[in-house]
Amino acid sequence: MVDGSSTGDAVVDPVVPDDRALLAAHVAGDPDAFGELVRRHRDRLWAVALRTIGDREDAADAVQNALVSAFRNASSYRGDAAVSTWLHRIVVNACLDLVRRRSVRPADPLPDDEARHPADPRDAIGSRVTSIVVEEALATLPVEQRAAIVLVDVQGYSVEEAAQILECAPGTVKSRCSRGRARLLPLLAHLRNPDGGPHVPPGRTEATSPTGPTTSSTATGPPGSTGTTGTTVEGGQHG
Buried b (16+ CB within 10 A) or exposed e, 193-216: eeeeebbbbebbebbebebbbbbb
State the fold for domain 17-104: Rna Polymerase Sigma Factor; Chain: A (1.10.1740)
Q: What is the pLDDT of residues 140-177, one digit of tens each?
A: 899 999 999 999 998 999 999 999 999 999 999 999 99
**What pTM was estimated for this model as a whole?**
0.63
Q: What is the pLDDT of residues 196-232, one digit of tens each?
A: 444 443 333 344 443 443 433 344 454 344 333 333 3
Break the chain into its structural domains and give their ranges.
17-104, 106-211
Taking residues 188-198, what's their average pLDDT?
A: 59
Give every CB contact of residue 150 below 8 A, 6+ residues apart in sequence.
Answer: 48, 51, 52, 138
CATH of domain 106-211: 1.10.10.10
| Distances from the Cα of 25 to the Cα of 13, 19, 84, 93, 113, angstroms | 20, 10, 16, 25, 35
Give the pLDDT score at 46: 94
Q: What is the pLDDT of residues 43-54, one digit of tens each?
A: 999 999 988 988
d(CA 191, CA 71): 42
